[in-house]
Structure 1
Amino acid sequence: MTKRIAVGTDGSYWGDAALGWAARHACVVGAELEVHQADRRYVDIPADIPTDAGIGATLRSMPMLPVRILRSGPDPVGTLVGASADADLLVLGCRGHHHGTLGVGRSVVPVVTRAHCDTVVVRGMPASLHGRTRWITAMVRGSAEDIDVLAKVAKLATSLQSKVRVVHVTPPAGPRWLPEQLGSATVLERAAARLASLAPKITPELRSLACQPPEAAVACPDTDLLVIGDTRLTDRNHLDPMTKAALYHSRSAVLVVRN
């Protein structure tokens, strides 16, 4: 079955960045690209934005990429969540035309919480947006979600020929006690063993951090993609603090792996 990547764009800076990221990734993994273009009838788009929201300019260098372009309806969240039901990956920018210069747009968290597939929120520095650091960073928690995260990272790192960093974050609690250190070491050792079984050629860098989620989200700026698991097993309407901090503060695109 052909893979499908769905992406939403409104012609804004981050909309263009999401479209470019999704198109490049589709080329690498051999997927179809489904573009959901914001409709001027429902969204206030500046007059100087091309009528195709810059889609033609972005895709001109990828003539062999299979692309389907659809107009979004009046509910962009519903459009993207609906697209995620049949997609292998959903990609969106961290904000649009009218969402300021900090944080994320009002549609991002609702889409991530409701999406049926893995979701990438594109943000970060130019080097990471274009895959120049050649690093993928995985956040592990010592829970069942790590299995899916590491499987995704192994596959991506193999396809993109990237190096892998595995990070385990614990909250600071005064002096470091030996059991805490052993706990973090065990989590990282298990993650390394799991990666070795999935992709024997990958030798990950292991890093333990004792900090709050916003600090952890920016602790590894030299990465192309930050991969984190979906921990919303009981509450499907709210993101956990680490995932939310990653979406708001990461210096790279964030991949939220759906269980």
Structure 2
Amino acid sequence: MTIRLGEVLAEAGALWRSEKLLVRPIAGLFLFLPTLALLMLLPQPEAVDAASDPEGAAVYQAMLAYARDNAPALIGANLLQLFGSAAILMLFLGRPRPAVGEALKRTVALMPVLVLAMLSVWVLTFFGALLIVPAMYLIGRSFLVSSAIVAEGPMGPVQAIARSFALTKGAGWLLFSVAALLFLGGQALGGIAGGMDRAAQAAGGDGSLMLPAFFNAIAAFATTAATVATLLVKVAAYRRASSGI
């Protein structure tokens, strides 16, 4: 079946309205809290003057240094977020459809496969990023990799990517656009909250953790909301695409 944007968004919205009580605890525990912990506990990345680094080499080196210095926390948070995302997909795509506890158990069993598949997608996207446009297209075509694994059972990374390519045929740019808009929306709201925090601190904050915690919670909530919305779009898109393949 063809993936139509209006139908996918309508179904994603309906899923949230009917199942939000199941989604919220998983999203809160495995998406919101790790994001908030990173914002609260890790230092801010070192600022780099873009004007003095037109080629971006210093920015790249600063990003590498930040990732290296904070690798354990970043890896741990990403694994928790991958688990939470897969558990939410499992709630809707698991066969037979599981209760929350069973969804978490099944997701634990799938984690090695999911980690390998996501690493493969990142590598594929990284090489595509050398040409920019192919990277964006690849993000759209690999949009349903985790959905396919959750719904259809363990499969190798190449098979999962191939399955996603089959499901997203003719819809790569559409799905990339949806994913990008949701991601950028979450990042924009998070960035606004972070800017308000920095402004408040520069204006002479009282030194307590309450104000940073408040603004960081807003940023983590925005990121979590964007992630949950993307996951529900994945569920709706997978259901529609798989019904015709």
TM tier, shorter chain?
A: under 0.3
TM-score for the superposition, normalised by structure 1: 0.23
Q: Which structure's relative contact order is higher, taking Cα pairs within 8 Å and 6+ residues apart?
A: 2
| Structure with greater strand share of residues | 1
TM-score for the superposition, normalised by structure 2: 0.24
| Structure with greater helix share of residues | 2
